[in-house]
Amino acid sequence: MRQLIIIGSGPAGYTAAVYAARADLKPLMFSGEVAGGQLMNTRVVENWPGTKEGVMGSELMMEMREQAKKFGAEIIDKKVNKVDLEGKVKKIWAGKEVFESRAVIVATGAESIMLGVSGEKEFLGRGVATCAVCDAPFYREKTVYVIGGGDAAAEDALTLTKYAKEIFLVHRRDQLRASKIMAKRVQENPKVKILWNTELKEIIGKEKVEKIRIMNNQTGKEEEMVTDGVFMAIGHKPATEIFKDQLELNEKGYIKTKMSYPGVTTTSVKGVFAAGDVVDWHYQQAVTAAGMGCQAALDAERYLEDKNE
């Protein structure tokens, strides 16, 4: 019987592991098949506090992993495929193995929705980005393309206007899906040009992104456009598939937490806490995820100390 199991790595999971291990909870973490989450695909993180020169996303995640292990966290690089969170004893399956604990922290994160076009994965972190707030400063006075038509795409395009020389918003329909106010801001910004009824077909380059191939879905005409970067802004999908029948989710599929004291990371099930991008669909930053990981560990510690639980 474990005191605490953490499902998922990344800033939220690793921070939770550090705090829980220092509290002598001897946490067991399942890091998933790709440990470290989305930051493993991020080039330089310049907005992580205390790193004046910036830090490689993968390097930051490995440092956090080693820090958690230093204090006694046990990490298994396997994906959790099934859970039973009801009752005082929580059951977690990794493959055919079952593990039991008194408390669980879910930090499985969310992944950017991708199109599956050629070059998309190959150039991730080398001209293909999924977070304008994170990467926009790298494109100062450059030409970029934003793919999407919802609020995420509108926000990314507007963020990029502070840095990029010109921004092209590629949308497959003839009107934006974004909220009226966001759509209005984008359409009125002189730096943003919207390519209506247009689809991304391919991302082209050698060492980094050099061009994209786009198609007008009304005429069938294809063009190759020179660009310095491509921002995929179609949205995010939370990794909550195995929790659908276990925890209360919101309309977007993210885990609902109380978000009020005491126990801000408490979910709809006693003894289960959630942190990071699996909860937060708004900010989705490494530092906010880490902060929630800290909260989840402290909430779990208090829960485990309560003799009535």
pTM above 0.85, yes or no: no
In the numeric block, which tokens belong to residue 90? 């929580």
Our CA angle for 272, 274, 279, nearest 5°, is 145
In the numeric block, which tokens belong to residue 176? 């934006």
For position 231, what pLDDT does the model report?
97
pLDDT one-digit tens code per residue, 110-133: 988 999 999 999 999 899 999 898
Euclidean distance between CA atoms 46 and 73, whole angstroms: 28
Please give the domain boundaries of the chain with CATH numbers for all domains.
2-111+236-305 (3.50.50.60), 114-232 (3.50.50.60)
For the chain, the maximum distance between any two Cα atoms, rounded to a whole number of angstroms, is 69
Q: Give me the amino acid identity at 160.
A: L
Euclidean distance between CA atoms 203 and 145, whole angstroms: 11
* C-alpha to C-alpha distances, 59 to 135, 209, 228, 283, 291, nearest whole angstrom: 17, 23, 25, 22, 19
What is the percent of the chain where pLDDT is above 70?
Answer: 99
Helices (H) and strands (E) in the chain, counts: 6, 19
For position 26, what pLDDT does the model report?
97
The verdict on whether 277 is a catalytic residue reads no
**Segment (H or E) for 192:** strand 192-195
The verdict on whether 135 is a catalytic residue reads yes
188-221 burial by CB neighbour count: b if 16+ within 10 A, else e? eeeebebbbebbbbebbbeeebbbbbbbeeeeee
Please tell me which residue in 131, 156, 280, 299 is annotated as part of the active site: 131
Please tell me which residue in 24, 77, 84, 134 is annotated as part of the active site: 134
In the numeric block, which tokens belong to residue 39? 């930051």
The verdict on whether 306 is a catalytic residue reads no
Strands 90-94 and 55-56: unpaired
Please tell me which residue in 135, 156, 277, 299 is annotated as part of the active site: 135
For position 309, what pLDDT does the model report?
67
Low-confidence ranges of the chain (pLDDT < 70): 41, 307-309
